[in-house]
Chain A
Amino acid sequence: MLGRIGRWIDERAHLSELWQAQMVDYKVPKNLTFPYAFGIMAIVAFAIQIISGIFLTMYYQPNVHTAFDSANYTIMKEVPFMWLIRHVHAAGANFFLAIVYLHIFTGIYYNAYKKPRELTWIVGWVIYFVLLVTALTGYLLPWGQLSYWGMVVTAEIPTSIDSAPLIGSLKIGETISIWMKGGYEIGQITLGRFFGLHIWLLPLILLLLVSVHLYLVRAAGISNPEGREIDKKKEGVPFHPYMTLKEGAYVMGYLAVFFFFVFFYMHHFLPPDNYDPADPFKTPAHIAPEWYLLAYYTIFRSIPDKFLGFVAFNLTLVFLLILPFLDFSPLKSARNRPLFFIMFIVLVISSMALTILGTMPPTPTNAMLGLVFTAGLFAFFLSLPIISIIEWGWYKARGGEKQ
């Protein structure tokens, strides 16, 4: 009976043809390593955020007088199992960002941004940027002390432009800051606006971008850890069952780790300071951004000049965007590029150090260390053109043959 229903649907929707074409006849390199699973994990994390978010909107009230209580009483104490949904959403945001960072570093390591995959990388960069904005807007909604003051500080960042020479007098920064808040202070208009952005506009944009990203991955084919394009007919393995089962198992492992944190280790994702309702007249003593912004924050505050700090942390984002054009070497994958590998290690250590420094108080020593690691981060990006030129030399010396 079920088989007959299945056949009836299949004759009309051609699902089995689609499955055959897209999952079985689609060939991928057989030597894909574990880091290639970060993409599917990010998709799973995204799905978890959307599902948990939908249920949170049913009980959350985007009003300055009721937001805090709806998040901390209605959701955490009154509605059955909503505490779990909120834990999943709060931990899920952090895991989503963590996986995306791993995914980005994997892409850099295997040079998955090189021809013909530049567009995949650029769309991915836009996803990352929108994701940061989504996380920022969501963080304001519980209307706790950290939510409120974190956004006060974030909305002040554009005013750094006003301490620039020449253009400073135009007060562009203050204008951007006011447009972010919807006025001079963070209040009901800000909260309502952020709520709308966070639950509708930004997730829809993300869905669209993720779809385009996935299409581009398929269009260019999955990159290879060896750094060469495979002959799909001879060397590829069918995506199903090889990849589906392998990645399915990895996703199960990811979910196990994720739910361990959700049930037993939430205090970092729902920090105690945010269980105080927002008070516009009382700044918390220790205010730092969420961990996924700490590296930018350290770059920003280590540089003694406010405007230069602002330029430096934006430059980091710009460098990430133009990475495919900074690195024009014919060689792919850090496995074949000893110089690139060394600089990649510098990048990883610098990023981690900048993040750790962001959790520490702003002492002169920490500012100096911050400058050192900012230099390390920039050194990676600025060394790419030099490495590319050297590698072109090697490539030509070997007669320019394919690797």
Chain B
Amino acid sequence: METSRRDLMGLAIGGLGVVGVLGVLYPIVKTLAPSAASLAGAMMEVDVASIPEGQVRVVSWKGKPVFVVKLPQGFQWTGKAKEDKNAKLLQGQDAYALIAVCTHLGCVPLWKPQGEAEFNYPVFHCPCHGGFYSPWGDNIAGPPPRPLHVPPQKRDGSKLVIGEPGFVKELT
């Protein structure tokens, strides 16, 4: 069967039509992609050197508040937590990030480096219903059902990169 000019015209017009439809649909569908502002919050770099030892800085990652904890050299913690999940995960790190949302009802806990109530060593204390966490975010006492969540993070010299898999692979 020989292709005629008419067939070629039909193919050309049909092809142009398909290209046109794709050209219209692509930008329309792409409007649903995540916004630049949101994507910018997917990775957070914190200069650990600028945080005083034994202090905590609050930053934002994926719209959630995140604690960046800086432990002093040779830090010894005398408390006892209900769990040791986070402590194992963050072993040997002098700086790390924890999602700053209490696992009970979602308040933001406070960092108490001098201790609080009957706990006379550094703890996180959630003022809403009296939840207590170790410096690694393991729940000690009160109503929280589980340790604080830990975001994926890696260490890059004096920088802590939150949102990139490193010594923590994925969100716990």
- Interface residues of chain A, those whose CB is within 8 Å of chain B, are 178-179, 181-185, 187, 189, 193, 279-283
B62 touches A185 (CB 8 A): yes
Does chain A have a CB within 8 A of B108? yes
- Contact call B106/A282, Cβ cutoff below 8 A: yes
B63 interface residue (CB < 8 Å to A): yes
Q: Which residues of A contact B108 (CB under 8 A)?
A: 281
B106 near A184 (CB under 8 angstroms)?
no
Chain A residue nearest in CB terms to B42: A184
- Do the beta carbons of B107 and A282 come within 8 Å of each other? yes
Contact (Cβ within 8 A) A283 B41: no
CB neighbours (8 Å) of A184 from chain B are 34, 38, 41-42, 62-63
Quick check: is B1 within 8 A (CB to CB) of the other chain?
A: no
B98 to chain A, nearest CB (A): 15
Q: What is the distance, in angstroms, from A296's C-beta to the closest C-beta of chain B?
A: 23
- The residues of A that contact B38 with a CB separation of less than 8 Å are 178, 182-185, 189
Q: How far is the CB of B114 from chain A (nearest CB, A)?
A: 26
In the complex formed, the residue of B with least CB distance to A179 is B32
A182 to B35, CA, bound (A): 6
Closest to B64 in A: A185
B31 nearest in chain A by CB position: A193
Q: What are 15 A-B contacts defined by CB distance under 8 Å?
A: A178-B38, A182-B32, A182-B34, A182-B38, A183-B38, A183-B41, A184-B41, A184-B42, A185-B62, A189-B35, A189-B38, A280-B63, A281-B101, A282-B105, A283-B106
Residue of B nearest to A183 (CB): B38
B37: nearest chain-A partner, CB-CB: A183
Complex Cα gap A280–B64 (Å): 9
Q: Is B39 an interface residue (CB 8 A)?
A: yes
For residue A279, which residue of chain B has the nearest CB? B106
**Complexed CA–CA distance, A193 and B39 (Å):** 17
Tell yes or no: B33 within 8 A of A by CB.
Answer: yes
Q: How far is the CA of A282 from the CA of B101 in the complex (A)?
A: 9
- Cβ–Cβ < 8 Å partners of A182 in chain B: 32, 34-35, 38
Point out the residues of chain A lying under 8 angstroms from B63, CB to CB: 183-185, 187, 280
Closest to B38 in A: A183
Report B68-86 residues with CB < 8 Å from chain A CB. none
B19 to A: closest C-beta gap in Å: 24
Q: Report the Cα distance A394→B107, complex, angstroms.
A: 67
A197 to B, closest residue via Cβ: B32
Q: For B32, what are the chain A residues with a Cβ–Cβ distance below 8 Å? A: 179, 182, 193
User: For A183, what are the chain B residues with a Cβ–Cβ distance below 8 Å?
Assistant: 34-35, 37-39, 41, 63
Query: CA of A283 to CA of B41 in the docked complex: distance in angstroms?
Result: 22
Query: Cα distance A193–B29 when bound, in Å?
Result: 13
A179 touching B33 in the complex, CB below 8 Å, given contacts A184-B38, A184-B62, A189-B38: yes
